[in-house]
Amino acid sequence: MGFGFQANYFDKAMIENRYSFTAPCGIHTKSEAEMNPYRFTQALAKNASQLGVDIYENTEILSHRFTKEGLFFETDRGEIKANQVVYATVYRTQEFAKIKGALIERTFTIATEPIDTFPGWHNRSLIWETDRPYYYLRTTADNRILIGGMDSNVNKKDELKTKGPKLLNKLHDMFPGIRTSIAYEWSAVFGSTKDGLPYIGKHPKYKGVYFMLVYGRNSTVYSMLGAELLKDLILYGYHPPMNITRLDR
């Protein structure tokens, strides 16, 4: 079945003709996009506000209680009462949601100093490996390189000191013609599920309590699908894929 995506299969020779590294094969697509996640999130919040959504930044929920009279949330600004609530904080609520099969890891990224040219990098394309451990690379508008990966156990908090230089060495191995240094480095918690699917649906015990727990690399796509799913669950009590994303699967 075709979906209209422009894609070409690159064999080993085609990769070696276009890049300064080698790989058994790859898929080269022509419809990828880059975006600033901070600006993207700000734009989504602005659009939601214009549609009538009330947004309360920097508001901490201190406790909650669920009764027959409603769902109550104590915050540092006062109490909120609701008939329905959607938890969308992923790993921070997975224990409360009573889910199984979620894996939490830490991923690492560096940003280099700006450089003038990108020898051996075909069209400055986005690069993502399917190997394990995997690496992902892209360039920026101000001519930096971002390279990340080397995921590890989330409890090893001191690894940033060693992972940054290793990522830079990997970059230099892939692109010997590029010599640069680390300008910024950071790490972040990364979640995934054993079956690759999100956890979206009702709490198995509390009425009116729903979850949108979208782990992994498809979080943006799953969030859009989950919004439709939860809308139908709240309004009609049913949506076709609700069983494959349920929390107790």
List pLDDT tens digits, range 28-45.
Answer: 998 777 788 899 999 999
Same domain, 155 and 225: no
In the chain, the DSSP E strands lie at 7-11, 25-29, 61-67, 70-75, 78-82, 85-87, 102-112, 127-128, 135-139, 145-153, 182-193, 199-202, 209-213
Are 5 and 159 contacting, i.e. CB atoms less than 8 angstroms apart? no
Average pLDDT of the chain, as a whole number: 90
Would the CA dihedral through 9, 139, 215, 184 be positive or negative? positive
Statement: residue 220 has pLDDT above 90: no
**120 plus 241 within the same structural domain:** no
Provide the 3-class DSSP secondary structure of residue 96: helix
Q: Are residues 168 and 118 in the same domain?
A: yes
Tell me: do 116 and 148 sit in the same domain: yes
- 153 in the same domain as 113: yes
Domain contains 45? no
Nearest residue to 192 via CA among 84, 106, 133, 119 = 106
Statement to judge: residues 143 and 168 lie in one domain = yes
Q: Are residues 119 and 185 in the same domain?
A: yes
Enclosing domain of residue 218: 84-98+199-249
**Residue 156: pLDDT band with limits 50, 70, 90:** low
Span 84-127, pLDDT tens digits = 999 998 777 877 877 777 878 888 999 999 999 999 999 999 99
Residues 117 and 136 in one domain: yes
- Residue 129's domain is classified under what CATH number? 3.30.70
Gap between the Cα atoms of 127 and 140, Å rounded = 13
- Asked whether residue 50 is assigned to any structural domain, the reply reads no
Split into its structural domains, the chain has a count of 2
Question: What's the alpha-carbon Rg for the chain, to the nearest Å?
Answer: 22
Of residues 130 and 9, more confidently modeled: 9
Tell me what the mean pLDDT of segment 189-209 comes to: 88
Cis peptide before 241 (omega within 30 of 0): no
Would 118 be classed as within a structural domain? Answer: yes
Residues 90 and 117 in one domain: no
Residue 67 lies in a domain: no
Is residue 75 in some structural domain?
no
Q: What is the pLDDT of residue 158?
A: 63
pLDDT value of position 1: 47
- Give the end of a domain, one of 161, 178, 193: 193
Q: Which two tokens stand for residue 195?
A: 């079956």
Mean pLDDT of 15-40: 90
Which pLDDT does position 193 carry in this prediction?
A: 86
CB 11 within 8 A of CB 25: yes
* 139 and 160 assigned to the same domain: yes
User: Are residues 206 and 177 both part of a single domain?
Assistant: no
pTM score, two decimals?
Answer: 0.78
Upper half-sphere CA count for residue 126 (Cβ side, 13 Å): 9
Interstrand relation of 85-87 and 209-213 (parallel, antiparallel or unpaired): parallel
Is the same domain home to 155 and 218? no
How far is it, in rounded angstroms, from Cα 90 to Cα 104? 10
Handedness of CA 239, 241, 245, 249 (dihedral sign): positive
Domain boundary among 170, 193, 216: 193
Residue 37 lies in a domain: no
d(CA 186, CA 161): 10
Q: Does residue 54 lie in a domain region? A: no
For the segment 181-191, the average pLDDT, to the nearest whole number, is 90
